[in-house]
Amino acid sequence: MTPTRQQRPHVPGARGGRGSGPRGASRAQPDVQVTALSSGSAWHERRESGANVLEIDSLEIEAVASGSAVIDDVSLALRPAEILALVGESGSGKTTVGLSVLGHFRPGLRHGGGTVTLYPSHTDRPAEMTALDDAALRRLRGARVTYIPQDPALSLNPGIRVGEQIREVLDIHNFGASAEERTERVRSVLAEVGLPGDDAYQARYPHQLSGGQQQRIGIAMAFAMYPDVLVLDEPTTGLDVTTQAQVLDTVRDMTVRHQVASLYITHDLAVVSEIADRVAVMLRGRIVEENTTEEVLGSPQHAYTRKLLAAVPDLAGRNRIGETAEPGAPAGSVHEPEAPAGSSAGFAGRPEAGSAAAAVRAAGASAVVLEVSELGLAYGENTVLDGIDLELEAGECTLLLGESGSGKTTLSRSIAGILDSYTGRVCYRGEELAKNTRQRTLDQRKQIQYIFQSPFSSLNPRRTLGQSLAVPLEMSGELNAAGRRDRVKDALDAVRLGRQFYSRRPGDLSGGERQRAAIARALVNMPSVLICDEITSALDVSVQASILALLRTLQEERGLAMLFVTHNIALARHIASRVAVLNKGVLVEAGPVDEVLDTPQHAYTRELLTNVPKL
Amino acid sequence: MIARLVVRRLLISIVILFAVSLIVFFATLLLPGDPARAILGQQATPERIAAINAQMNLDAPPWTRYFLWLGGLFTGDLGTSVATGQPVSELLGERVGASVFLMVAAALISVPAGILLGIYSALRRGKAVDSAITGISLVLAALPEFVVGIALVAFFSTTVFTILPAVTMQPPGTQVWDFPLQLVLPVAVLVLVVTPYIARMMRATMIEVLDSGYVEMARLKGVPERRVVLRHALPHAIGPVAQVIAIQLAWMAGGVVVVEFLFRYPGLGQALIDAVSYRDVQVVQAVTMIIAVIYVIVNLLADIVGILANPKLRTGGES
């Protein structure tokens, strides 16, 4: 829990303004009007007393096709000015529960039983969200209960100006008494979320805003009608840490200022610790644990919660994620041993201590496997990369850190020879590589392997893993069919999938299993350099932890030089021995992990480090 | 920004038309038959043939003739019909009007019908109505226009009922639209052939847009369903459909040839068929160019609709 929360400025004017003014005069048609009643009403008293604004009781949601329960016996309650985090991994049903608060069930799902009761502020009668007709639901949605979606780029209408999209909510729900008042409200809510409210800004289309600004538009839209209940569905997932910190601040501030009861859906426990008052943990459609944030994060009761916590990478590197968080690991083993006493917590077992790397060094051979010098790339006027110098040593992992648009993927693709329009040199064991991978020698191609971000799109769904993994071997053409089969099976063993996966197809596999298969494909040619491009960012934290553990093992077993590209600085101490920070195409900082994280030299690195949410 | 994009498309269209004119002119040169002989028939003597050739510039080298012809196109002089001796522009004037009337009537019915059917089908996805619309439109799309035409004639004019005329009778001095009953079947054929494509495309894009995050968001904002469809979904679904509509309208410019032949409709298509059988090169060239112009204009309009429907193109790089 951050102590700063209680110190946040409380803006009395904003709340005082709710009861007074034209909204107070709108009581004439209580069923049509959905703006809040003035103070003194029964609802107002209810809120002042801190009673529940929303109650979910024994909610059951089932799949239409099979009739099986997707959500089973979920009960939650939301109180004013309080943020309840709903935590779970993908597929746990947290979004399904969140949408049921708005009485919405996605196609293929239906309400099976239980109730979702809203106590809206515009009337004294509670509303049963699962039983209302469409018209009644529409009156509440966007007014009394609102939604902030995960990806603003997808959920803002690309063809409507942003001001108009906010204005639409006010128009539909008859906000205020006049058009002028609505115009004024659009302006004021934009100001509240920290955006300029002028006409020129309102006239922009979503594509003309940055991701952070788009999400603020989503927040403004959700707060425009002064709602009673707010559902936030992973609103910061696509944002970089700095923007995420700002958006979290805004959400927190608005929730407290307007006494909104919020349900914050996320898989990120670090974010939870920054923003939530209470936490409910979901596993396969059920709530397994619910308590205050301190209790859940500090002394988790359920094994699954402990597993989730153990899998969260922390900047300090205290818990070496993945060591015991293998999927299917017995629940009892989740508890992390304390780091060795002393100041250098977590130093033991660092990747550079790997036996193969040590052997290389002991032999006195030059450990530099790959050397990038003066690498630059520009598209016309637009410089993407500028003067990049980077060295990768055998048995060492370098974390290449950068936010979206920093050029990190461009750099890794240039090194791999997928992009060939760069200037500068990439040398493998002292020998300059041709720019395009097609011009490189067979051995050079085999030695440098690339793993893509999304395991869902990098494996051909029509081929078995055996077929997909044999392709690199067919390309190198050194082994016969039997030899290739053995090599592929060995690789499947090496990534802890096992050779029984040889004839399975990607469709039967989970995300983590697919990424293991993709890693195996990179390993079949026995490379010495592995480029991992955001390979864990599409995965849940517990899967990420197990993949990181696998990479550490492989690195130690094989003495691989690894470039681990990521936007998540918290992974640094868990995988890498060196860190290189890329900002707008320039390497602003590079060095050993501890040096960079403990004494960052560049302002950009320092800013990143301050904005990382901490457990 | 829009102006610049439109001007660019316009320039491209002009280049395309020039290329088409080259192909049309030199392809028709390859048609068998000698125009002078065709005109003179039995009375062809070498002197008279030479005289006609000189009069019609037929003795000039092909390039000179091409530029003379091209120059004529710009001044509205489409040449002289070899078969009738009349100026081609005079000969075709009325027929262009008749064909365009047929096409516009068909377009005015099929475009809204296709769009509405597509939207309705998308909104009733998976229900019986949707399956019926999808199935029937697939069958119609698979049938060539002359099959549809003959079936309609058999049903409404000859075999089953005899309530509609099967051919167009147009006394001299009257216009095709003076006899609305005669128009029903030709227009119906074009509508039946064109509508399924539009409806199917509209359904596909609409379903995609209805599944999008911003449509779900609009519903979660409490936007009434009618407004969700018209304001939030339709503008995004219509862009790709405009392209299909353009292709269909452009197809009509050519498909009208078959339909006109079937119903003896006095339009461009009839003129083209007659001209080919009389080796009337000038008319063939003119009709082909007119059809090409219609093609290009319709596609240009579709591009403009596409640009207007896309705010990223509309606002250009100003972000």
- The number of distinct structural domains making up chain B is 1
Residue ranges of domains in chain A: 36-311, 351-611
Question: B222 vs A157: CB contact, 8 Å cut-off?
Answer: no
B37 in any annotated domain: no
**For chain B, which residues score pLDDT lower than 50?**
317-319
- Percent helix / strand / coil, chain B, rounded to 5: 80, 0, 20
B226 occurs within a structural domain: yes
Mutate to test the interface with B, among A138, A162, A167, A231 (most CBs of B within 10 A): A138
| Span B272-306, pLDDT tens digits | 888 888 778 888 888 888 888 888 888 888 888 77
Q: Which residues of B touch A205 (CB under 8 A)?
A: 311-312, 315
The amino acid sitting at A422 is: Y
Secondary structure (H, E, C), A9-46:
CCCHHHHHHHHCCHHHHHHHCCCCCCCCCCCCCHHHHH
How far from A347 is each of A225, A363, A573, A600, CA to CA, in Å? 52, 24, 9, 19
How many other C-beta atoms lie within 10 A of the C-beta of residue B171? 7
Report the run of H or E that residue B299 belongs to, with start and end: helix B281-309
Q: For residues B203 and B197, give the distance between their C-alpha atoms in angstroms, rounded to a whole number.
A: 10
Task: For B230, list phi and psi in degrees, rounded to 5.
Answer: -75, -40
Residues A331 and A301: beta-carbon distance below 8 Å: no
CATH of the domain at B148: 1.10.3720.10
In a domain, B135, yes or no: yes
Classify residue B286: in a domain, yes or no.
yes
Percent of chain A with pLDDT over 90: 31
Query: Number of residue pairs across A and B with CB atoms under 8 Å?
Result: 77
Two tokens, residue A509: 């596999």
Domain made up of A36-311: CATH architecture? 3-Layer(aba) Sandwich (3.40)
Hey, do A36-311 and A351-611 end up sharing a CATH topology, with the first three levels equal?
yes
**Does residue B171 sit within a domain?**
yes
Res B319: pLDDT:
37
Of the given ranges (A138-147, A230-239, A402-411, B162-171), which has the lowest mean pLDDT? Answer: B162-171
Whether residue B12 lies inside any domain: the answer is: no
Position A350 scores a pLDDT of 41
CA gap A103, A98 in Å, rounded: 9
A432 three-class SS: strand
User: Does A156 contact B216 at a Cβ distance shorter than 8 Å?
Assistant: no
ipTM of this predicted complex?
0.72
Whether the per-residue pLDDT at A42 is higher than 80: the answer is no
CATH 3.40.50.300 is right for the domain spanning A351-611: yes
Domain residues for the domain of B242 are: 88-315
Q: Which of A53-62, A266-275, A306-315 has the lowest mean pLDDT?
A: A306-315
Mutate which: B209, B217, B314, B315, vs A, most A CBs within 10 A: B217
Taking only the tens place, the pLDDT of each residue in A238-282 is: 777 888 888 888 888 888 888 899 999 998 888 898 899 999 999
**B123: which chain A residues are within 8 Å (Cβ-Cβ)?**
none
The reply to whether residue B311 touches residue A142, judged by beta carbons under 8 angstroms, is: no
Q: Does residue B109 belong to any structural domain of this protein?
A: yes
> By mean pLDDT, which of A324-328, A408-412, A608-612 is the weakest?
A324-328
Lowest mean pLDDT among A298-312, A359-373, B220-234, B257-271: A359-373
Q: Please check whether residue B141 lies inside any domain of the structure.
A: yes
